[in-house]
């Protein structure tokens, strides 16, 4: 970022010729004042240091408590310069240390030339103006925002290769570069590819052979249909989406105000179900943003709100000041803005939190227009059973209030004398808890589960552990629950109540919405003008102001109407990447100026248009891609192509790559016959020896992500992922060489085949089970010679450890 | 980014970039600073050690004992009382007579190697965000730690060991966030000294070395055949090599992570305490080419009874930290190894509950030694009571910038493109504190 700043100076620096030119102030003086002085000498402060204000022209002219600091034309009388030079021991600035002599020399030049100060803007307008992103008009012409239409692909010379439109686009590019595509992969490779891609594990020997034996034209589309109809399809494709949705089950820490999400797994289950039902992508996303506001959404669809309700949040120690708490709250909103805009729109809107976007046509106003939506959306645990709307609304407010009161009362009771008059506060809060308790108990007859769910907030705290008993039991957070609730959100405006100088509360106003101010330089302590809730201006068409509740549903609708071309391009590009290992536009979450342009923009546009026409069906899109000749290409390196296009930007082959950790672990479990196919439900530690369920049901912790997942490039669940890096490290191989998982797998499979008569038939069976093929004669020789000194179990681990086993074909 | 770099390497050398060794190369492409340091040991005292009891003498605390003169009403996490003088006397130590608490006799003895920064300041009075800021430069929990940045920037010196090890550290200390997984801190539990117990999957529990070698030979034979039939592939050959590296790591790490292999004299020098073992382990690791070792230390969050607590736990810390300096120096490693000591914030000069001290991000002390830092000096100052840094203030970003500078890296040029922008350890902040460099 600083690089940008200097660049800006360099550009402007070339413009000034004479020293009295205002540009001298802008390039030499203002940056120093802004970076070195404003922190203590600002008009935004109630009491600037020494009464001196330097971020306004009038402040600079007025000087401080000890008189003027700059006398135009007279450097010798300007105390500002004296301070900068550090020559007077009692007048030295800035306090962080003497600046370079050249800086003082610039100030001297500037003062001598009349101390020209061209500033007119009021304080706070100090965001860098030197480098600006595109204007709105320019922005509206940006390629990614253009309408989508099915423009015909360019003509191709080879008329036999292409099976559909995708192939014509791909081939046209290849032909223009003077290269032919690769031929079709053999059937045994194809069937492996299809299984991995659609259900996330490799096929068995029998499954491979069944496909290899079916020579009919229809075998391939039939295979796709069959696999898409399996429930494991949703597990595979749900996990793809979970990368984008930064799915996690807790927060980076687990203090009182950011406890784990005990129902996050319900959100995961909802994603899997929705993928299996092929819920149209636009509706799929709308439900995640606003299921509670959609009249046609089922009660069970509230689980989709985990997208917002189980999002990362930060602990808010309520003893801290309103500004600090306000900052944390703004960080929470920022997280939502980043996830939504990068994840759904490929736009890096979070860059516009402190200043207008440096490259893309996004202003801070647009940023805070979105922030208001999330400032009007509160996370809450909602019942999955039907509750009268008014009762539910009240229940949700009470739940949050009880959590805060209970936390506060505990905090000031257990931590002696942390706040002035804490006893009186605690008494008051306890009284309020009693009132709310009485109110909630009144619901018991009709809604017993509702009452149960909040009982813990008024029950007396469990006694401290007696001597000798293990500590920590008492405070262990509830990691997971199967009660009929879900981590969701509802419309409620959030405010920071700073009226008590010693204790800060968050206030929730259900049913109300809130527009938030622009926080200048991202600082909540310097609010600017209030911005109505609205959509990104550059993408918006017509009326652009959200007025229904928080505006979440309106946001979701805008994404799929005004911004539909962009939203479609972004998801189509991601899906392409999940199939090919490399999206058409390599920076899948950044379609802005700083992102990398797509290799095949026309193809991306065509496919996006077709996808929308097909009702945003992901199953259709996947099928369309997989039935292309481009997808069915062989994966072998061709020397001339490895030289010309080693990263396969032309899609001249299917790029071989490492399997992701989910496919790898699931395949190893399945081939050794250990996989438990049970779907859904609470997560388990993915590294627990007894856990043999699919990896998608492994716990995803934001505070303690499983090292196994982390070592294999599982994305950080703190932020929406733009695609996984696939690295190769020694720590990955230690897992292969030495882990109990591998040893258990080898032990189980060798027992399974131990009763097969003769060594060579046992070995053939092992090959069939683990690699879904027969060994060659040479491979059999190698294996048998190994058995002269080693065991079948050891050789099972050999086969499991091979490159062949982990390679995406 | 990584991919583009590999392409460059391929173009330059006319061969396939090898994933197995890609981590050997640093990714820093900016201008080198004059800094010559090669590695870092970070001693992190979680909870926040008290500057006025250790490195920042404040006689005025005695004069105003129990009072709250103007300037000490800064808001901290909890309610605080009047000024509380240190229970410990200070003495001038070393060639420049730097004042150090008498409870730190051994660190006082190596004061000529330490650059004591008395004017550190931070922005948040709560452990989690402050600790995140300390390690990653931001309170947000989604940015890489300094160790990951340095691993990314400089690469690994030793292919058979991870480049970044985080001992007794949680959360932000080991976080690689969006940097590639190989740059995350390898987490270690220092409660044990047996490497097999510290590192999961380090050794094969079923096979001895020769049986395992035989097994691996069989794997590699099949991999070779598979690769030959498939054709040249970066990943396939990279994984073959990384299997070999992992195999070697088993033995090298078993040796590197085992402090019991040190002489009795050396172990006694550090003291066979958890922190002593941690410091000794850190030295063994950097000696073998690990870039960054973070050694976390217990509980320094003394809200009450600070005097008694310090009398109990300071001697072990004093011994271990000073032993590290002495040991690195006698091995000729101090010149290119940075040792940094501190907590996420300091503690208040005013008392909490009469006998303790509250969190204090306004001003605190850290020290840096070796690796091109000057030593024998105190930089900056807090106010007369030791509450707030007022002179030559140094932020965490400044310190990070200075450490990178000492490692030859310009903190404005060590960047990683993610989510549409170039991220830096120091974000848009940080000034190199030249005054503490030699």
Q: Residue A37 gets which letter from DSSP?
A: I
Chosen for mutation from A656, A731, A791 (greatest number of chain B CBs closer than 10 Å) is A731
For residue A179, what are the contacts with CB-CB under 8 A and spacing of at least 6? A640, A641, A644, A645, A650, A652
Mean pLDDT of all residues belonging to chain B:
90
Q: Does pLDDT of A635 surpass 90?
A: yes
Q: Tell me the H-state helices in A378-421.
A: 389-414
Distance, in Å, from the CA atom of B347 to the CA atom of B301, rounded to the nearest integer, reads 9
Band the pLDDT of A27: cuts 50, 70, 90: confident
Smallest CA–CA separation between B204 and chain A, in Å?
5
pLDDT at res. A463? 60
CA of A786, closest CA in chain B: separation in Å?
A: 8
Q: Please list the alpha-helical segments (H only) found in B207-356.
A: 209-230, 234-256, 264-270, 274-287, 306-330
Instruction: Write out chain B residues lying below 8 Å of A252, CB-based.
Output: 128, 141-142, 171
- pLDDT over 70 percentage in chain A: 92
User: Would you give the distance in Å from CA A262 to the centre of its chain?
Assistant: 20
pLDDT digits over A223-243, tens only? 999 999 999 999 999 999 999
Would you call B189 an interface residue with chain A, using a CB distance cutoff of 8 Å? no
Mean pLDDT of B426-432: 94
Kindly state the helix (H) or strand (E) to which residue A644 belongs, with its residue range: helix A639-644
Per-residue pLDDT of B59-118, as tens digits, reads 999 999 999 888 787 878 777 889 999 999 999 999 999 999 999 999 999 999 999 999
Residue A30 pLDDT > 80: yes
pLDDT of residue B169 exceeding 70, the answer is: yes
A528-to-A122, A519, B133 alpha-carbon distances in Å: 11, 6, 27
Count of A-B CB contacts under 8 Å: 232
Share of chain A above pLDDT 90, in %: 72
Longest Cα–Cα distance in chain A: 103
Q: Distances from the Cα of A546 to the Cαs of A196, A342, A519, in angstroms?
A: 43, 21, 20
- The pLDDT score that the predictor gives to residue A474 is 46
Name every chain B residue with its beta carbon within 8 A of the beta carbon of A86.
none
CA distance linking residue B238 with residue A19, whole number of Å: 59
Q: Which residues 755-784 of A are in CB contact (within 8 Å) with B? A: 778-779, 782
Better-predicted residue by pLDDT, A47 or A547: A547
Q: Return d(Cα A386, Cα A535) in angstroms, integer.
A: 32
Task: Using alpha carbons, list the distances in angstroms from residue B63 to A162, B59, B66, B349.
Answer: 89, 7, 9, 13
A94 upstream amide cis, omega within 30 of 0: yes
Residue with tokens 């034996």: A213
- Comparing alpha-carbon positions, the chain A residue that sits nearest to B354 is A417
Show residues of chain A in contact with B381, CB under 8 Å. Answer: none
Per-residue pLDDT at B5? 38
* From A38-52, B85-99, B129-143, B277-291, the region with the lowest mean pLDDT: A38-52
Residue B411 has pLDDT above 60, yes or no: yes
A50 vs A107: which has the higher pLDDT: A107
| pLDDT band, very low/low/confident/very high, at A733 (cuts 50, 70, 90) | very high
**β partners of residue B115:** B368, B377
| pLDDT category of residue A417 using cuts at 50, 70 and 90 | low
For residue A630, give the nearest of A164, A238, A120, A266 by alpha carbon. A164
Does residue A130 register a pLDDT over 80? no
What per-residue confidence (pLDDT) applies to B1?
34
pLDDT band at A45 (very low <50, low <70, confident <90, very high): low
Q: CA nearest A254 in B: which residue? A: B128
A523, A540 contact by CB (below 8 A) = no
Under DSSP, is residue B369 helix (H, G, I), strand (E, B) or coil?
A: strand
User: Residue A2 pLDDT more than 50?
Assistant: no
Interface of A with B in 35-94 (CB under 8 A): none
Using alpha carbons, list the distances in angstroms from residue A384 to A403, A785, B352: 20, 61, 46
**Mean pLDDT of the region A399-407:** 95
pLDDT above 70: residue A83: yes
- Among A3, A95, A710, whose Cβ lies nearest the Cβ of B181? A710
The CA distances from residue B228 to A51, A641, A707, B222, in Å, are: 77, 18, 33, 10
The residue among A415 and A662 whose pLDDT is bigger is A662
Q: Measured between CB atoms, does A142 come within 8 Å of chain B?
A: no
Compute the residue count for chain A: 809
Contact A217, A612 (CB under 8 A): no
pLDDT (0 to 100) of residue A462: 63
Q: pTM of the entire structure?
A: 0.82
**CA atoms of A693 and A679, how far apart (whole Å):** 8
| Residue A21, number of CB atoms within 10 A of its CB | 15
Model confidence at A596, in pLDDT bands (50, 70, 90)?
Answer: confident
Q: Do B202 and A738 make contact, defined as CB atoms within 8 angstroms?
A: yes
Say which DSSP state A517 is in: E
pLDDT value of residue B21? 39
- Put simply, whether A721 touches B (Cβ < 8 Å) is no
Residues in B touching A646 (Cβ below 8 Å): 7, 10
At residue A206, the 3 state secondary structure works out as helix
A650 to A171, A178, A641: CA distances (angstroms): 9, 11, 10
Task: Please state whether A438 falls in left (phi above 0), alpha (psi between -120 and 50) or beta.
Answer: alpha
Instruction: Residue window 255-294, chain B: list those with CB within 8 Å of chain A.
Output: none
Mean pLDDT of the region A208-229: 97
pLDDT at A47: 64
Q: Do A798 and B219 touch (CB under 8 A)?
A: yes
pLDDT at residue A461, rounded to an integer: 66
Q: Which residues pair with A519 in a beta bridge?
A: A527
* Residues A461 and A406: beta-carbon distance below 8 Å: no
Distance from CA of B158 to the nearest CA of A (A): 12
Q: Is the pLDDT of residue A472 over 50?
A: no
Distance CA B190, CA B169 (A): 9
* B336-341: average pLDDT: 98
Closest to A700 in 3D by CA, of A235, A250, A305? A250
Confidence of residue A63 (pLDDT cuts 50, 70, 90): confident
Predicted local confidence at residue A388, as pLDDT = 96
Average pLDDT, chain A: 90
Which residue, B291, B352, B36, is CA-closest to B148? B291
* CB nearest A716 (choices: B178, B186, B205): B178
Residue A129 is predicted with a pLDDT of: 39
Distance, in Å, from the CA atom of B317 to the CA atom of B319, rounded to the nearest integer, reads: 5
pLDDT tens-digit readout, B198-229? 888 999 999 999 999 999 999 999 999 999 99
Alpha-carbon gap, residue A310 to A320, rounded angstroms? 24
Cβ–Cβ under 8 Å, residues B302 and B47: yes
Task: Read off the pLDDT band of B176 (50, 70, 90).
Answer: confident
Q: Give residue-wise pLDDT tens across range A477-523.
A: 678 999 999 999 999 999 999 999 889 999 999 999 999 999 998 88
Contacts of B390 in chain A (CB under 8 A): 95
User: Looking at the complex, does the CB of residue B427 fall below 8 Å from at least one CB of chain A?
Assistant: yes
Q: What is the pLDDT of residue A5?
A: 36
A17, pLDDT greater than 60: no
SS3 A423: helix
ipTM of the complex: 0.81
Q: What is the pLDDT of residue A467?
A: 53
Give the single-character DSSP code of A507.
E
Task: Examine the pLDDT at B421 and tell me if it is beyond 80.
Answer: no
In the three-class reduction of DSSP (H, G, I as helix; E, B as strand; rest coil), residue B346 is classed as strand
Interface touch A729/B23, C-beta < 8 Å: yes
Q: What is the dihedral of CA B304, B305, B311, B312, to 10 degrees?
A: -80
Q: What are phi and psi of B119, to 5 degrees?
A: -120, 35
Please give the DSSP secondary-structure letter assigned to residue A660. P
Residue of A nearest to B18 (CA): A728
Shortest CB distance from A255 goes to which of B128, B230, B238?
B128
Tokens standing for A447? 């809604």
């Amino acid at each position: 970022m600083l690089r940008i700043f200097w660049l800006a100076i360099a550009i402007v620096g070339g413009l000034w010729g004479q020293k009295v030119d205002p540009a001298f102030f802008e390039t030499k003086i203002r940056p120093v004042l802004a970076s070195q002085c404003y922190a203590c000498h600002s008009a935004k402060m109630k009491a600037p240091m020494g009464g001196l204000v330097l971020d306004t022209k009038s402040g600079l002219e007025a000087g401080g408590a000890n008189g003027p600091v700059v006398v135009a034309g007279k450097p010798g009388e300007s105390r500002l310069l004296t301070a900068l030079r550090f020559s007077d021991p009692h007048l030295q600035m800035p306090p962080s240390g003497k600046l370079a002599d050249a800086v003082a020399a610039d100030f001297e030049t500037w003062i001598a030339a009349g101390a020209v100060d061209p500033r007119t803007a009021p304080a706070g307008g100090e965001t860098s103006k030197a480098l600006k992103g595109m204007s709105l008009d320019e922005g509206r012409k940006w390629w990614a925002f253009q309408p989508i239409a099915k423009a015909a692909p360019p003509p191709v010379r080879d008329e036999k290769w292409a099976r559909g439109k995708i192939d014509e686009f791909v081939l046209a590019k290849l032909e223009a570069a003077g290269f032919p595509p690769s031929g079709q992969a053999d059937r045994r490779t194809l069937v492996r590819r299809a299984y991995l891609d659609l259900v996330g594990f490799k096929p068995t020997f029998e499954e491979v052979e069944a496909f290899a034996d079916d020579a009919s034209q229809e075998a391939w589309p039939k295979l796709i249909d069959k696999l898409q109809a399996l429930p494991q399809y949703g597990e595979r494709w749900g996990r793809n989406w979970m990368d984008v949705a930064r799915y996690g089950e807790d927060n980076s820490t687990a203090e009182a105000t950011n406890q784990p999400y005990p129902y996050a797994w319900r959100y995961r289950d909802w994603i899997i179900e929705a993928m299996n039902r092929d819920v149209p992508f636009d509706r799929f996303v709308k439900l995640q943003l606003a299921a509670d506001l959609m009249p046609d959404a089922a009660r069970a669809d509230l689980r989709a709100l985990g997208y917002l309700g189980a999002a990362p949040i930060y602990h808010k120690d309520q003893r801290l000041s309103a500004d600090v708490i306000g900052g944390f709250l703004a960080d929470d909103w920022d997280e939502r803005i980043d996830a939504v805009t990068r994840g759904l729109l490929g736009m890096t809107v979070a860059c516009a939190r402190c200043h207008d976007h440096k490259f893309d046509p996004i202003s801070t106003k647009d940023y805070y227009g979105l922030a208001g939506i999330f400032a009007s959306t509160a996370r809450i645990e909602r019942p999955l059973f039907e509750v009268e709307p008014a009762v539910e609304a009240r229940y949700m407010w009470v739940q949050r209030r009880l959590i805060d009161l209970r936390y506060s009362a505990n905090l000031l009771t257990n931590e002696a004398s942390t706040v002035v008059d804490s006893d009186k506060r605690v008494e008051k809060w306890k009284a309020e808890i009693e009132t709310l308790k009485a109110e909630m108990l009144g619901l018991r007859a009709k809604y017993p589960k509702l009452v149960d769910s909040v009982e813990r907030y008024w029950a007396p705290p469990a006694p401290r552990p007696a001597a000798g008993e293990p500590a920590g039991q008492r405070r262990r957070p509830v990691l997971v629950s199967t009660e009929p609730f879900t981590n969701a959100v509802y419309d409620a405006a959030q405010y920071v109540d700073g009226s008590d100088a010693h204790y800060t509360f968050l206030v929730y106003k259900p049913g109300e919405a809130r527009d938030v101010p622009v926080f200048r330089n991202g600082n909540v302590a310097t609010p600017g003008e209030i911005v109505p809730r609205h959509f990104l201006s550059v993408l918006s068409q017509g009326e652009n102001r959200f007025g229904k509740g928080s505006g979440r549903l309106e946001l979701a609708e805008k994404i799929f109407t005004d911004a539909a071309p962009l939203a479609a391009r972004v998801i189509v590009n991601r899906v392409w990447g999940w199939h090919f290992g490399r999206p058409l536009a390599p920076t899948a979450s950044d379609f802005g100026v700083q992102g990398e342009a797509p290799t095949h923009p026309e193809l991306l546009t065509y496919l996006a248009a077709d996808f929308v026409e097909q009702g945003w069906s992901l199953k259709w899109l996947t099928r369309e891609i997989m039935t292309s000749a481009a997808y069915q290409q062989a994966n072998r390196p061709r020397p001339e192509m490895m030289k010309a296009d080693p990263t396969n930007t032309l899609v001249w082959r299917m790029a071989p790559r490492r399997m992701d950790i989910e496919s790898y672990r699931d395949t190893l479990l399945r081939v050794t016959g250990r996989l438990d196919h049970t779907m859904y439900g609470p997560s388990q530690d993915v590294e627990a020896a007894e856990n043999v369920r699919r990896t998608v049901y492994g716990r995803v912790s934001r505070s303690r992500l499983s090292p196994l997942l982390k070592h294999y490039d599982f994305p950080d669940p703190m932020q929406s992922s733009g695609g996984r890096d696939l690295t190769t490290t020694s720590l990955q191989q230690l897992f292969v060489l030495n882990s109990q998982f591998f040893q258990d797998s080898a032990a189980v499979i060798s027992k399974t085949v131990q009763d097969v008569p003769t060594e060579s038939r046992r070995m053939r069976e092992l090959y069939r089970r683990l690699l879904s093929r027969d060994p060659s004669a040479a491979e059999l020789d190698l294996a048998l010679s190994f058995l002269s000194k080693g065991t079948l179990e050891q050789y099972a681990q050999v086969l499991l450890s091979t490159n062949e086993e982990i390679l995406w074909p | 980014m990584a991919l583009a770099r590999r392409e460059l390497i391929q173009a330059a050398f006319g061969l396939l970039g090898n994933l197995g060794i890609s981590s050997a190369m640093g990714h820093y492409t900016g201008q080198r600073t004059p800094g010559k340091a090669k590695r870092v040991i970070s001693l992190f005292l979680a909870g926040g050690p008290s500057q006025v009891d250790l490195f920042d003498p404040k006689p005025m605390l005695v004069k105003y004992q129990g009072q709250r003169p103007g300037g000490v009403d800064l808001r901290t996490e909890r309610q605080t009382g009047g000024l509380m003088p240190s229970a410990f006397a200070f003495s001038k130590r070393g060639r420049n007579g730097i004042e150090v608490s008498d409870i730190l006799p051994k660190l006082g003895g190596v004061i000529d190697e330490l650059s004591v920064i008395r004017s550190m300041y931070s922005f948040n009075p709560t452990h989690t965000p402050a600790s995140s800021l300390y390690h990653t430069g931001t309170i947000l929990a989604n940015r890489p730690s300094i160790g990951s940045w340095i691993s990314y920037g400089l690469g690994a010196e030793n292919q058979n060991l991870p480049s970044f090890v985080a001992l007794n550290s949680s959360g932000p200390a080991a976080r690689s966030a969006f940097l590639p997984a190989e740059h995350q801190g390898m987490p270690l539990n220092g409660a044990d000294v047996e490497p097999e117990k510290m590192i999961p999957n380090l050794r094969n529990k079923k096979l001895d070395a020769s049986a395992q070698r035989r097994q691996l030979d069989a794997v590699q034979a099949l991999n070779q055949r598979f690769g030959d039939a498939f054709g040249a592939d970066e990943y396939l050959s990279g994984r073959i090599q990384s299997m070999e590296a992992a195999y070697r790591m088993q033995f090298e790490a078993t040796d590197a992570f085992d402090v019991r292999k040190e002489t009795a004299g050396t172990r006694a020098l550090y003291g066979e305490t958890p922190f002593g073992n941690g410091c000794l382990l850190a030295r063994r690791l950097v000696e073998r080419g690990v870039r960054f070792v973070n050694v976390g230390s217990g509980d320094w969050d003394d809200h009450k009874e600070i005097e008694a607590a310090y009398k109990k736990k300071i001697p072990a810390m004093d011994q271990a930290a000073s032993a590290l300096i002495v040991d690195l120096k006698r091995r000729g490693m101090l010149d290119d190894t940075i040792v940094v000591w501190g907590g996420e914030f300091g503690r208040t000069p005013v008392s909490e509950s009469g006998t303790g001290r509250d969190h204090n991000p306004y001003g605190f002390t850290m020290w840096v030694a070796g690796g091109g830092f000057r030593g024998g000096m105190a930089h900056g100052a807090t106010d007369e009571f030791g509450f707030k840094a007022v002179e030559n203030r140094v932020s965490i970003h400044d310190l990070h910038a200075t450490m990178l500078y000492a490692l030859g890296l310009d903190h404005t040029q060590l960047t990683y493109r993610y989510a549409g922008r170039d991220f830096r350890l120091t974000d848009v902040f940080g000034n190199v504190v030249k005054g503490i460099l030699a």
